[in-house]
Amino acid sequence: MPEDKVILNELTDKVEKLITLYGKRKADNEEIVIKNKKLIKEIEEQKNKNEVLEQKYTNLKIARKLSEKDGNDDSVKSRINKLVRDIDRCIGLLNQ
């Protein structure tokens, strides 16, 4: 009988330690999930900023090309068509 109590006490101690460790790991995991969501949000914001900058750069190149007197009309038309497609894509994304 006394051995049973010793074994039961040891088992109880180990279960309590496991419960404590589980609580710590769960808290750590929740913290990591929150950080992960924050980083994903930051990545999305950076992607959006990058798209805006790329669009501004493209517009600047087109404006520069249009201002040139010896500009190639086909190149300008293709760039304008690309801009129109990009705008249509953006409108489509907004409508979703």
The domain ranges of the chain are: 2-95
pLDDT in tens, 18-56: 999 999 999 999 999 999 999 999 999 999 999 999 999
Reported confidence tier of residue 73, pLDDT bands at 50, 70, 90: low
d(CA 34, CA 96): 27
DSSP string across 37-70: HHHHHHHHHHHHHHHHHHHHHHHHHHHHHHH-TT
Question: Residue 81: what are its φ and ψ, rounded to 5°?
Answer: -60, -40
**Tokens of residue 90, six digits:** 């953006």
pLDDT in tens, 74-94: 777 787 888 889 888 888 888
Reported confidence tier of residue 70, pLDDT bands at 50, 70, 90: low
pLDDT at residue 96 in the model: 75
pLDDT at residue 2 in the model: 79
Reported confidence tier of residue 72, pLDDT bands at 50, 70, 90: low
d(CA 65, CA 82): 15
